[in-house]
């Protein structure tokens, strides 16, 4: 493959060309030359579009691929096509499949199925067998087999002793524990955020306290495990999909104290508050739920000041039979791989473009211990091409499932394509 990206604005703080308008000449997956008005031979494919921006390839830290076991909702091929359309070169898949990714067999299946796909698929492995929260998996074996992190995914590690021992177990291999904070005894039968709106709608509430208690517990246990050891240069604990103002503040304080912790927020949490559920649209039923206006404000503030490290899709495909039901019977979840960047760009609140790209590239790679990617001559070309001001209509999805409240909407922030593993993947 020979490709010339003409007049591209580089967004990469690690690059000498950050912020500059340059040409990039790519041969066989490597950035061969960067300059102005580069001349190339005939036959070289040239990409020249208005307002072209290029950054290191984007990484989505939280994707439910549903394969194996639930291929009628999504499979590895369809999830990779959706990720490519959303501008991602790398995705991290959760272990909540059937069977659960709790041994080398299912992990190897995912890695084999991901070969030849347009995105790199990184696999998380379960902390406990069947993600049931009872018995440990063989984490060291799974680590050496290629697991990028450990999590029970959609299930929270409720048992504090298991949580503590997992942190201890992963320390020698510099492993990462990811946990979605939720005290499930406080959220039993909950349907939406607990507040005035849930009362008006007559729906059982999910209190923010359930998340905040678990964040506080996990931070206390992490401090207990680490003791005086503050030598960690990378997070050892990552909170997935935080949603409340108090959670943001707790993590902000922990980081100020030097605690090696990180967190992410789902893109859709930045768009809606709980008032959006007045129409009982089941495509808006998510967990954690859309919370108050105050919480949404705090999430944006946490992104701007660096408390929140990453923006994720929390891509959760659900078939029509799981969503076309009464609200309290419908499953939780939104598909989001194709709209992460556009949602953040469309609803942006004081987040610079460099900060936004950092949440999709540099920070996720650092947290996940993935090799860094930068735009420089001689470096591998793992790139996302986009127009931050371009508008487009989200009128179709590559996902097998259609559970998105954004289908049919006009959004700002258009993905032009990706360059990854020696291939140029262009969005039509």
pLDDT of residue 81: 98
Mean pLDDT of the chain: 97
Before 68, cis peptide (omega within 30)?
yes
pLDDT-derived band at 227 (thresholds 50, 70, 90) equals: confident
- The CA-based angle 263-327-409, given to 5 degrees, is 65
Q: Structural domains in the chain?
A: 2-53+378-426 (2.30.40.10), 57-368 (3.20.20.140)
pLDDT of residue 137: 97
pLDDT by residue (tens digit) across 392-414? 999 999 999 999 999 999 999 99
pLDDT of residue 231: 73
Q: Model's pTM, two decimal places?
A: 0.97
pLDDT of residue 1: 85
Residues 198, 194: Cα–Cα separation, whole Å: 6
Element (H, E) at 92: strand 88-93
Q: Please answer whether residues 91 and 121 qualify as being in contact, where contact means their C-beta atoms are separated by less than 8 angstroms.
A: yes
pLDDT of residue 50: 96
Q: Please answer whether residues 91 and 80 qualify as being in contact, where contact means their C-beta atoms are separated by less than 8 angstroms.
A: yes
Residues 64, 93: Cα–Cα separation, whole Å: 6
- Whether 41 has a pLDDT exceeding 90, the answer reads no
Q: Which of 12, 273, 314, 387 is catalytic?
A: 314
**Residue whose tokens read 């890695």:** 111
Residue 112's φ and ψ, nearest 5 degrees, are -70, -45
Residue 90 among the catalytic residues: no
Higher confidence at residue 209 or residue 233? 209
pLDDT-derived band at 232 (thresholds 50, 70, 90) equals: confident
Q: Give DSSP secondary structure letters for 173-220.
A: GT--EEE----GGGTTT--EESSHHHHHHT--EE-HHHHHHHHHHHHH
pLDDT of residue 317: 98
pLDDT by residue (tens digit) across 277-309? 999 999 999 999 999 999 999 999 999 999 999
pLDDT of residue 233: 81
- Whether 19 has a pLDDT exceeding 90, the answer reads yes
Q: Please answer whether residues 352 and 99 qualify as being in contact, where contact means their C-beta atoms are separated by less than 8 angstroms.
A: no
Coil, helix or strand for 251? helix
Residues 121, 110: Cα–Cα separation, whole Å: 8
Q: How far is CA 63 from CA 154, 177, 195, 199, 335, in A?
A: 10, 16, 29, 32, 9
Residue 53's contacts (CB-CB under 8 Å, 6 or more residues apart) are 8, 9, 10, 11, 353, 385, 386, 387, 388
Neighbouring-strand partners of residue 415: 386
pLDDT-derived band at 117 (thresholds 50, 70, 90) equals: very high
């Amino acid at each position: 493959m020979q490709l010339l990206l003409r007049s591209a604005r580089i967004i990469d703080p690690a690059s000498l060309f950050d912020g500059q308008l340059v040409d990039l000449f790519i041969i066989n997956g490597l950035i061969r030359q960067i300059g102005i008005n580069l001349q190339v031979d005939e036959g070289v494919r040239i990409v020249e579009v208005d307002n072209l921006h290029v950054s290191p390839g984007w990484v989505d830290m939280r994707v439910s691929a549903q394969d194996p076991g639930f291929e009628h909702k999504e499979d590895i091929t369809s999830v990779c096509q959706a990720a490519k359309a959303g501008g991602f070169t790398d995705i991290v898949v959760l272990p909540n499949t059937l069977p659960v990714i709790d041994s080398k067999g299912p992990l190897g299946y995912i890695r084999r199925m991901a070969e030849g796909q347009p995105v790199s698929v990184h696999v998380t492995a379960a902390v406990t067998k069947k993600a049931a929260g009872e018995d440990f998996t063989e984490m060291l074996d799974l680590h050496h087999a290629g697991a990028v992190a450990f999590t029970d995914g959609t299930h929270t590690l409720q048992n504090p002793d298991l949580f503590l021992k997992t942190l201890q177990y992963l320390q020698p291999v510099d492993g990462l524990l990811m946990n979605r904070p939720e005290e499930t005894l406080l959220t039993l039968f909950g349907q939406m955020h607990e507040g005035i709106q849930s009362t008006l709608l007559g729906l059982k509430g999910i209190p923010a306290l359930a998340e905040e208690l678990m964040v506080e517990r996990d931070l206390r246990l992490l401090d207990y495990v680490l003791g005086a050891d503050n030598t960690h240069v990378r997070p050892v604990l990552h909170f997935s999909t935080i949603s409340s103002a108090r959670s943001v503040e707790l993590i902000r304080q922990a980081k100020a104290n030097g605690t090696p912790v990180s967190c992410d927020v789902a893109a859709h949490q930045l768009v809606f508050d709980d008032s959006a559920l007045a129409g009982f649209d089941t495509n808006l039923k998510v967990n954690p739920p859309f919370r108050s206006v105050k919480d949404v404000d705090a999430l944006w503030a946490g992104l701007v000041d660096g408390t929140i490290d990453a923006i994720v899709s929390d891509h959760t495909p659900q078939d029509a039979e799981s969503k076309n039901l009464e609200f309290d019977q419908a499953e939780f979840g939104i598909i989001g791989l194709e709209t992460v960047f556009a949602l953040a760009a469309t609803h942006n609140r004081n987040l610079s473009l460099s900060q936004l790209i950092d949440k999709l590239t540099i920070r996720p790679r650092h947290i996940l211990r993935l090799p860094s990617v930068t735009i420089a001559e001689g470096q591998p070309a793992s790139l996302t091409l986009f127009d931050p001001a371009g508008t487009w209509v989200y009128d179709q999805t590559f996902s097998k499932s259609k559970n998105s409240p954004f289908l049919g909407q006009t959004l700002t922030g258009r993905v032009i394509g990706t360059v990854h593993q020696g291939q140029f993947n262009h969005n039509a």
